[in-house]
């Protein structure tokens, strides 16, 4: 493998374009490519946000709490405000009242949403963006906005409102990532909990009840 090419400006730009493009379609493959790229370029795990937190228990606790709060905010306030149907999206009907499908969905969520999506759209993309343009405040704002827009594309199967929600949540996770010393584990845990709670709500048929909690 020609590591000189991989570490060249053109090679790095090409790798970024390929990985992000694949991430918009097949996120797990893109995450694997990030890890391969990291090894070939001798990039540190820390630069991707994959470092050991100084306070592991706090990271887990805060991650769980944030995931729950963000999901409740999304389901009870934000989604109803943007006109999302109270009964939810047809894209998730396959898990309603099906324990087998729920368990499979939970495994998928932890691996793909919690781990793969965060590596690609937060850890990798943010690192590359700062490598190209620096880390000024204005650059970080653009980075968060662009990163959240990219994050919304793989969620378009949820419909227009679902994609908008994903963009907003993606922007929030981008801010959390930067505000917490680029601790990707915190965002991974929160993201997984967010989606696991969403799955539980759908499985129990509580989508409409929660969506109309404050808005009828």
Per-residue pLDDT tens over the stretch 102-126: 899 899 989 998 899 999 999 999 9
- The average confidence (pLDDT) of the chain is 91
Whole-number Å distance between alpha carbons of 195 and 170: 13
Q: In residues, how long is the chain?
A: 216
Q: What is the mean pLDDT of residues 29-46?
A: 94
pLDDT band at 1 (very low <50, low <70, confident <90, very high): low
Task: Provide CB contacts within 8 A for 193, sequence distance 6+.
Answer: 63, 64, 66, 67, 68, 71
Q: Which of 141, 139, 151 is nearest to 187 (CA)?
A: 151
Whole-number Å distance between alpha carbons of 146 and 152: 10
**What is the pLDDT at residue 92?**
80
Reply yes or no on whether the pLDDT at 216 is more than 90. Answer: no
**What pTM, to 2 d.p., does this model score?**
0.92
Percentage of the residues of the chain whose pLDDT score is greater than 70: 98
Q: Which of 31, 32, 40 is nearest to 12 (CA)?
A: 40
Whole-number Å distance between alpha carbons of 132 and 135: 9
**What is the pLDDT at residue 64?**
97
């Amino acid at each position: 493998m020609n590591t000189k090419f991989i570490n060249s400006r053109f090679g790095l730009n090409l790798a970024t374009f390929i990985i992000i493009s694949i991430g918009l379609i097949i996120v797990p493959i893109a995450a694997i490519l990030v890890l391969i790229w990291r090894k070939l370029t001798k990039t540190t795990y820390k630069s991707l946000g994959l470092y050991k937190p100084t306070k592991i228990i706090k990271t887990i606790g805060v991650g769980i709490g944030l995931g729950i709060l963000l999901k409740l905010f999304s389901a009870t306030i934000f989604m109803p405000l943007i006109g999302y149907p109270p009964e939810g999206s047809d894209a998730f009907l396959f898990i309603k009242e099906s324990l087998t499908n729920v368990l499979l969905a939970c495994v998928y969520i932890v691996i793909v949403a919690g781990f793969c999506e965060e590596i690609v759209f937060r850890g990798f993309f943010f690192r590359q963006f700062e490598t190209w343009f620096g880390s000024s405040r204005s650059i970080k704002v653009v980075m968060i906005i662009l990163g959240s827009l990219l994050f919304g594309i793989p969620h378009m199967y949820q419909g227009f409102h679902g994609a908008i929600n994903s963009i907003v949540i993606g922007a929030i996770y981008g801010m959390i990532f930067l505000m917490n010393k680029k601790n990707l584990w915190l965002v991974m845990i929160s993201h997984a909990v967010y989606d696991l709670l969403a799955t539980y709500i759908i499985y129990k048929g509580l989508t409409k009840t929660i969506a109309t909690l404050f808005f009828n």
